[in-house]
Amino acid sequence: MMTKTAEPVVRKKKKNKTSLLISCCSIGLILVVWTVASLSGALSSGMVPTIQSVGAALVDISANGYKGSTLLQHLGASFYRLFTAFGLAILSAVPLGLLSGHNDKVRAALDPIIEFIRPLPPLAYYTILVLWMGIGNGSKIMLLYLACFAPIYIACVAAVTKIPASYTDVARTLGANDGQIFWKVILPYAAPDIFTGIRTAFGHGYSTLVAAEMVAAASGIGWMVLDASNWLRSDVIFAGIIVMGATGIIIDQILRRAERKLVPWKGKV
């Protein structure tokens, strides 16, 4: 006889299997449509290459490289820029966002700057960064940092400002000091939204990667896609996009798993 506590677990596993099956069918349908469209001649091979040519390009750049660097080296160069900026954004945006959410004066000082930078397209200020910081990795990392900073900061501010005042009032009534209130009340309550902001920031950073590698780069997955477009190498373009999408999904899944481990109470309070 199945216990009551086991029933939700079984239902969740069935739901996950159903979702996985639907996702696989969706991907399979896209591949079938792609294959039929390319083989039937409905789409120009110069615009949409066949799956076989994309697979061959992926194998070729993995084994022989593209413009002097292998696929792993291109990914390594991009991930160095991306994760350096991503880590710096987390280290600075989380404390500043929490402080701004808690202190109206700090929020009033920082909000205009964040709201001014946030909607700007990366290329609008990348040229300025290049003038200030040169054409090396510094300007690229700064561009990615700015792309990652705002989503994390805004998520932290929103998380703190929506904490019910009764939570902190009860904690003070029970004798908690400011430090204990932060670690025991504010941070646990805000943690789910912080992780959401971190995942959003990673997406913003990854989507800005091509722009970051446009100027004076000779490696990087974004640069590879951009350079291939100059030579009309649609097979390499598609291979690079597939790699970027696949690695993005993998990293997002890692962040999701970290969130489930570190914030197991999300959705339960």
Average pLDDT over residues 135-139: 87
Looking at the chain, the whole-number percentage of residues with pLDDT higher than 70 is 91
Q: Is the predicted pLDDT of residue 15 greater than 70, yes or no?
A: no
Q: Residue length, the chain?
A: 269
Q: How many CB atoms within 10 Å of residue 112?
A: 9
pLDDT higher for 180 or 85? 85
Average pLDDT over residues 118-138: 85
Which pLDDT tens digit goes with each residue over 172-186? 888 888 888 888 888
Q: How many CB atoms within 10 Å of residue 261?
A: 8
Q: Is the predicted pLDDT of residue 92 greater than 90, yes or no?
A: yes
Looking at the chain, the whole-number percentage of residues with pLDDT higher than 90 is 25
pLDDT higher for 17 or 78? 78
What is the amino acid identity at position 100? S
Average pLDDT over residues 81-102: 93
- Are the C-beta atoms of 101 and 158 separated by less than 8 Å? yes
Cβ neighbours of residue 30 closer than 8 Å, sequence gap 6 or more: none
Residues facing 38 on adjacent strands = none
What is the amino acid identity at position 199? R
- Are the C-beta atoms of 207 and 150 separated by less than 8 Å? no
Q: Note the Cα 29 to chain centre separation in Å.
A: 26
- One DSSP character per residue, 15-71 reads HHHHHHHHHHHHHHHHHHHHHHHHHTTSS-TTTS--HHHHHHHHHHHHHT-BTTB-H
Q: How many CB atoms within 10 Å of residue 98?
A: 20
- One DSSP character per residue, 147-196 reads HHHHHHHHHHHHHHHTS-HHHHHHHHHTT--HHHHIIIIIHHHHHHHHHH
| pLDDT value for 10 | 58
pTM: 0.82
Q: What average pLDDT does the structure give for the chain?
A: 85
Question: What confidence category does residue 95 fall into, taking pLDDT thresholds of 50, 70 and 90?
Answer: very high
Residue 148 CA to residue 142 CA, distance in Å, equals 10
Which pLDDT tens digit goes with each residue over 24-68? 888 888 888 877 877 776 666 667 788 888 889 999 998 888 888
